[in-house]
A and B are shown apart, each in its own frame.
Chain A
Amino acid sequence: MSLTNEHIKNRLVEKFGEALTNFEESHGIMSFHAPKELNLKVMQFLYDEEELQFRFLSDLTAVHYPDQQGAELAVVYHLHAFVPNVRLRFKVFTDIQTPQVFTASKLFSSANWMERETYDFFGVDFVGHPNLIRILNVDEMDYFPMRKEFPLEDQSRVDKDDEMFGRGGSVGI
């Protein structure tokens, strides 16, 4: 019996009710949003449930949405159930002033470095992480470089007209 996204959704809604929102399916992967307090509960439920068995954390990263007031940072989890061969993605949103999210490193050892990387680049503070220090950047760095407020190219340059390069003037990306 194959595990359908519809069935996973029903099981999740049954368990967590209205807390999980924005269910959608794109490019074959179901995704949803979860409140940040529930991230571990959702993962543990998906991990333990006999018919779901999402026991592989494929990927953990973050995305910065500077325009979403109060929910600027999204931590994105990609889980994979090997036996039924189903993937799913869920996001938890947090505001950028208090970016505290529970660590998944107790459940998945692989989350350890992925969370360090996410902290390194986005400043997400994973509560309970055993060793939350920078991993790829230098230790002395005092900002989180993947946030959108740090543009890659020098915005003060006047010799390049961005309009000419399809970038639409002062795009803050």
Chain B
Amino acid sequence: MSEQQHIKLPEGSIERQTSTLNLGPTHPATHGVFQNILEMDGERIVSATPTVGYIHRAFEKIAERRPYYQITPLTDRLNYCSAPINNMGWHLTVEKLLGIQTPKRVDYLRVIIMELARITDHLICNSVIGVDSGAFTGFLYVMQYRELVYEIYEEICGSRLTTNIGRVGGFERNFTPAAFQKIEKFLAEYPAVLKEFENLFTRNRIFMERTQGVGAITAERAMNYGFTGPNLRATGVDYDVRVANPYSSYQDFEFSIPVGTTGDTYDRFLVRNAEMWQSLGIIRQAMDKLKQLPEDVYHADVPAYYLPDKNDVYTKMEALIYHFKIVMGETDILPGELYNPVEGANGELGFYLISDGGRSPYRLHFRRPCFIYYQAYPEMVQGAMLSDAIICMSSLNLIAGELDA
């Protein structure tokens, strides 16, 4: 930063006044509905006041009136860049409540899907940092691989963005050979593209100068602000729910937690890139582990909770009964209270569920990582330039759907 010149300005002169700038709610540089009322002194930000809630959809209230299997589509719409992680998180929460043990194969299939989702989420976030700093090419390179992942989702569950993937107890159907082929194709082709993407950015002088030191936060402040996920790891705290509280057999995998040092935009970018490499490694390991497991297992044997195959519903009495009971909310759900965290793509996604034994949760609270860490934004951009505020926001990986629930 250049040295500030202190000029004595007369009281009430126009130079002494700050101006108010509305950034958002619909601004092309804020990806989603974010409004920030910025108090600007020239090009510098004196203070920022974020307004949230523009797309609040009352999911927690709706969830109190929905049977458990109907809550999965609600979770899709939280972090819609990595909807499968939310879906799996919800299934895992219900399974934990009901004490369902899923077979290893289900765990590994879930791990594959969750890590694919993590890659898509990170590649969007990182390439968008590029877009916001004027480098559009990288975005186009990686975007076509998100498409490939969406085709994998489509092959498995039939939908692409809001996936509603899986069921309580496992998956709705087995992975087809085509799905595995697509995963293999992705594993074979994506590393080269990611490498190229990194070549474009990581040591790019312009990119480094635009991002280093921008939106930095210390580890202490980040923890105090409830940061989780890559944003916390960029400050140097090696906290990852996959390691701290392993779920879905993450303990069977070898991977490391990339950490940064300074907690600035550049470190967040690097941490996400490194995590994509780790995720690719995890998927590769999972694919290898799957080869040693029986190929026809794709759900736990819990007929009372697992929505049966549609063909069975039409032909088998038990399946019809269970289908009816599950769809009508007549299944016996155990009363209980639990908090189940999973490592979402942008932080710790927690489900605080209270069941009173009824057909719907008595209370369901989503711990939405970006809602919690977005409140640090004013502190992070104070004194920065407007263009730094934009790039800082995109590096935080804020997803409007998750922010506003």
Q: How many residues of A contact B (CB 8 A)?
A: 42
Residues of A within 8 A of B224 (CB): 55, 108-110
Q: Give A151 to B56 CA distance when docked, in angstroms.
A: 18
Residue A153, interface by CB 8 Å: yes
Cβ of A130 to closest chain B Cβ, rounded Å: 12
Q: Give A56 to B341 CA distance when docked, in angstroms.
A: 14
User: Which of A56, A137, A151, A153 has the most chain B CB atoms closer than 10 A to its own CB?
Assistant: A56
Residue B354, interface by CB 8 Å: yes
**A63 near B244 (CB under 8 angstroms)?**
no
Q: Main SS of the interface on chain B?
A: mixed
Given contacts A56-B226, A108-B226, A110-B372, contact A153 B336 (CB under 8 A): no
Q: How many residues of B contact A (CB 8 A)?
A: 48
Cβ of B241 to closest chain A Cβ, rounded Å: 10
Stretch at the interface among A2-10, A26-34, A35-43, A94-102: A26-34
Residues of A within 8 A of B340 (CB): 27
The interface bits of chain A over 140-173 (1 if a CB of B lies within 8 angstroms of the residue's CB, else 0) are 0000011000111100000000000111000101
B58 and chain A: residue at smallest CB distance: A145
The interface bits of chain B over 368-399 (1 if a CB of A lies within 8 angstroms of the residue's CB, else 0) are 00011111100000000000000000000000
Residue B65, interface by CB 8 Å: yes
**A135 near B339 (CB under 8 angstroms)?**
no
Q: Give A150 to B200 CA distance when docked, in angstroms.
A: 54
Cβ of B388 to closest chain A Cβ, rounded Å: 21
Residues of A within 8 A of B244 (CB): 82, 85
List of 9 A-B pairs having minimum Cβ-Cβ separation, nearest first: A110-B226, A136-B53, A27-B338, A152-B65, A136-B56, A61-B365, A59-B367, A113-B375, A166-B329
9 contacts between A and B (CB under 8 A): A27-B338, A58-B348, A89-B339, A109-B376, A113-B375, A146-B61, A166-B328, A173-B65, A173-B360
